[in-house]
Structures are given as C-alpha cells and as structure tokens.
Amino acid sequence: MKKVAILGRPNVGKSSLFNRLARQRDAITSDIAGTTRDIKKRIVTISENREFEVIDTGGIDESSELFSKVAELAMKVASEADVILYMVDGKMLPDDEDKKLFYRLQKLNKPIALIINKIDNDKEEELRFWEFSSFGAKDMFGISVSHNRKFNPFYHWLEQYIPSPLETETLALEEEPDPLFDEPINQLELQEDDEIKVAIIGRVNTGKSSLLNTLLKKERSVVSDVAGTTIDPVDETIYYNDRRITFVDTAGIRRRSKILGIEKFALGRTTEVLNKANIVLLVIDSTAGVSELDERVAGLIEKHKLACLIVLNKWDIRDDKTYEEAVADVRYKLKFLHYASLITVSAKTGLRVHKILDEIVAIYDRYSMRIPTAKLNDTIKEAISRHQVPSHHGAVVRIKFATQFDTKPPRIALVSNRPEFIHFSYKRYLANFIRERFDLEGVPLDIVARNRGERDNED
C-alpha cells in the first residue's frame, strides 16, 4: 500500500488536512504551534476506492531540542513515503526556511507537491498563490482546508500515484493459486482471536514513549525530558508469536488543575483509547513511587474493567528500596488493582522489556478465557463450603448455580434466590477464589447476581 506523508513547519494546517483526508477528527488541531509532535497514520480512500496510508507528522522546527527531534522523525517518515505533500501557510510570505526544507525533500526523488493552505477565496489566490512559484515546484496547489476549497485538482494529481483496486486485482490474478491454501478462512474470527489492543497510560514523564520505542525496536514516538511531549495518542502494530499486538502510547495525564489548552483534548483521547483497549500497561516511575495521581489514573483501568500489567519503569536508577519493598508499596497504594501483574523494567537500558510481550500474550489469553460451566460450579461450591453466603436480616441467601456469559473480561452470573442481597464483598471473595483456581492473574472478573430467568447479557 502506498504511503503519503504530510510535512511542513508548525501551524500550517497539516493535521487539518490529515483529518480532511481521513474524513474524521482524528488528529488534534489547535492554533498553538507544535500541537502535533508524534506521527499519526490512517488508511484512507479516494475516488475509485483507491486506498493509501496518509501520515501526519509534527511541525519541522529545529529551534529547540524537543522540536528538533520532531523534525528528525518527520524527515525519516518522508524518506520512507511514496508521495510527499509539503504544506505552507498561504497567508504568509514565502519563507527561506520553507524553501530549504522543500529543496531537501526534492532530493529524495519522489513525487512531491507544494500545498499552499489557507487560500480562502479568489482574491487571496490572485494575490498570494503565485508568490510561491519561487519554490520552483513542478506541482503546486492552492487550497483551503477549513473551507474545503479547490481540492479536486489536488485529488486528481494524487490519484496518478495511488493504484486502483482494479490494477491491484490484475496483478494478483497473474500469480498461480496454491491448492494447499484453498480452505476458506473465517477472517472475523481470525481478527477477533489474534488482535490484542494495548493501551500505555500513566502520568507525564514516566517513560511511556521510551517503553514503546524499546518494544518496537525503533523510534516511533518522540522522546524528550520535556513533560507532556506526547499529546496525540500514537499507535503501532507488530506481530509476536503469531499474535497481532497494537500499541497505543497515550498522552501523559496531569493533575486536573494543570490540564491546560490542548492537554484537555489529550485527556479525552486517553479515555477513548481505553474504551477500545483489552490490556493496559500502567507505567509508574519507580524513582518517584506511586502518587495520588497514579491512583486516580489506575482508577480508569478498574472503571473500564481492563486487564492490566503494572510496569515499574526506571528500575536501573531507583533508590535503595528492594524489590519486595517496592512491590509492597505499589500493592498497598493500588489495592483495587490487586489482580494486576507487575514487572520491573528499564525502558532506557532495555532491562526485562522483552518479557512484556510474553506477559501481554499470556494475560490476553486469560482475559479471553471461557471457563466450562461444570468446573465453574464446582469451584463456586467449594468457595461456598469454605465461606457461606451471608444471610440478610435472618433471610437465607442461596446461590443456585453460576455461568460465564461473556469474555474480555470474563463475566459470571450468579443465579440466586435473593440476588440483591449478595454483598459486593462476597462477590470480591468469589472473584479472588476463581482467579486463584483458574490462574487469572492480571485479569478482572465481573460478577453479577441475578434471578432465575434473567437474560445472561443484561447487567
């Protein structure tokens, strides 16, 4: 699939063009220069169902350490792309720095177009557009993303570099089919079983982006000592042990009083990511320990009933606290994530990071587990024999049987004569008993009590 990269200096409208092509508000946009710092990717379609991957990059500006890293990543994306779109602000005079960057990109010998944004009307086109001919660009388009103006000539140019499905089909038919692979495959089932969606969350500056880069074995996220570098969530998919794992590196979460401007968008986007995730890597800075804010962030995991691996990062530069002391501190302060697995790593040195992938696969298998009804009821009976269901004001409360009615997380219904009187503390006791019996470390259990005859898929 062809890759189309959007490049340019900060605040020229790259993310707005990305959103226009993707037909959704995916990248965060604002009037603040440098809003986009990592790259974002989406598969989009233009006329005749031509598909390509559009890539939004951070603004190229080498005025600071942070933005020089953003620029470096953007130029790397350009070198790997098939088509380059260089964007400038049509309301400004042509800039020498823009010209230098454009000439640098031309040397890559790839199809490149100069996109002059913010040309909102015919008068501005007459006054401003032709001034940019000094770039010497073979292909140049004056558009207005906000007004959806003059996109057709740009689309016609882009189409010549994006093959249509008919062309792809013709190429595919030239290959001889292998009779060994003629069996039909249930693609929906394959995707459901194999794709694992992993959200990486935590406070700002805990090393989330460094962890993602180490896991992927490449620089995918911008890493800087500047707290709050990541604003947009960025995602990347890898294959590990025949499993498809998609990582999402979310923006760091600050105290509510410190959430300003575009970071409000980032907090909302983090919640959206959790709605789609299966597993969460909760990254905690082992040099700082668990803070009150870490507890609040962890509360989001419990709220979404997600599988969890607590990652104690920066283990190589921790203080003199032993492993047992550090784990005890985390377990004490994050009591409601008692089910979570825990690992100590150093994203910077790579210490034990490779084990995270094995943990993710194992936790996901447990998260997707369906317990046979007979074994589940035998376990419930054993739990009740050890600790009877408490009565309610003298009224006997009985659990008649149990059944698992969903996965991700495992959801279990207790059919009872008085379901409303089964206390949450007893449900927690049963959840812990079941988790220990079936080795469900890292996985939350959702236990509900119902009357006989209530539908299994109701809460």
Q: Which of 65, 55, 69 is nearest to 27 (CA)?
A: 55
For residue 203, the 8-state DSSP code is B
Task: Give the burial class of 277: count Cβ atoms within 10 A of its Cβ; 0-12 exposed, 13-18 middle, 19 or more buried.
Answer: buried
Helix or strand run (H / E) with residue 310: strand 307-313
Pairing of strands 195-202, 243-249: parallel
Q: How many residues belong to the chain?
A: 459
For residue 162, the 8-state DSSP code is S
Give the pLDDT score at 20: 87
Our separate counts of H helices and E strands in the chain read 14, 15
Rounded Cα–Cα distance for residues 274 and 271 (Å): 5
- Exposure class string for 101-130: b at 16+ Cβ within 10 A, else e: bbeebbeeeebbbbbbbbbbeeebbeebbe
Rounded Cα–Cα distance for residues 320 and 327 (Å): 13
Which domains can be identified in the chain, with CATH numbers?
3-173 (3.40.50.300), 194-366 (3.40.50.300), 373-450 (3.30.300.20)
- Contacts of 252-257 spanning 24+ positions with Cβ under 8 A: 252/202, 252/203, 252/204, 252/205, 252/206, 252/208, 252/227, 252/228, 253/201, 253/202, 253/203, 253/204, 253/293, 253/297, 254/203, 254/204, 254/228, 254/293, 255/293
Rounded Cα–Cα distance for residues 198 and 323 (Å): 26
Q: What are phi and psi of 314, to 5 degrees?
A: 60, 35
Give the pLDDT score at 334: 93
Do 301 and 337 meet the contact criterion of CB atoms below 8 Å apart?
A: yes
Do 80 and 7 meet the contact criterion of CB atoms below 8 Å apart?
A: no
Pairing of strands 446-450, 411-416: parallel
Rounded Cα–Cα distance for residues 328 and 322 (Å): 10
Q: Which of 410, 413, 401, 412 is nearest to 441 (CA)?
A: 410
Give the pLDDT score at 167: 53
Per-residue tens of pLDDT for the chain, all 459 residues:
899 999 998 889 998 899 888 876 554 343 434 434 457 888 888 776 788 999 988 777 655 444 456 677 888 889 999 999 999 999 998 888 899 999 999 999 999 999 999 999 988 888 888 889 999 999 999 999 988 899 999 999 999 999 876 554 443 433 333 333 333 333 333 334 568 999 988 887 788 888 988 888 765 443 334 344 443 445 678 888 888 898 876 554 444 554 444 444 445 566 777 888 899 999 999 998 898 878 877 888 888 899 999 999 999 988 888 899 999 999 999 988 999 999 999 998 999 999 999 999 999 999 999 999 999 999 999 999 999 999 988 899 999 999 999 999 999 999 999 999 999 999 999 999 999 999 999 999 999 999 876 654 444
Rounded Cα–Cα distance for residues 236 and 220 (Å): 8
**What is the value of pTM for the model shown?**
0.59
Q: Evaluate the CA torsion angle 404, 410, 411, 417 in order and state its sign.
A: positive
Structure tokens at 45: 């379609």
Q: Any alpha helices (H) in 131-280, and if so which ranges?
A: 152-159, 165-173, 187-194, 208-216, 263-276
Q: Which amino acid is at 295?
A: E
- Find how far residue 212's CA is from the centre of its chain: 11
Give the CA angle between residues 15, 21, 25 to the nearest 5°. Answer: 55
Give the pLDDT score at 189: 35
Helix or strand run (H / E) with residue 333: helix 323-333
Interacting residues of 49 by C-beta distance below 8 A, sequence separation 6+: 164, 165
**CB hemisphere CA count around 108 (13 angstroms):** 21
Does a cis peptide bond (omega within 30 degrees of 0) precede residue 163? no
Angle (deg, nearest 10), helices 373-386 and 424-437: 120
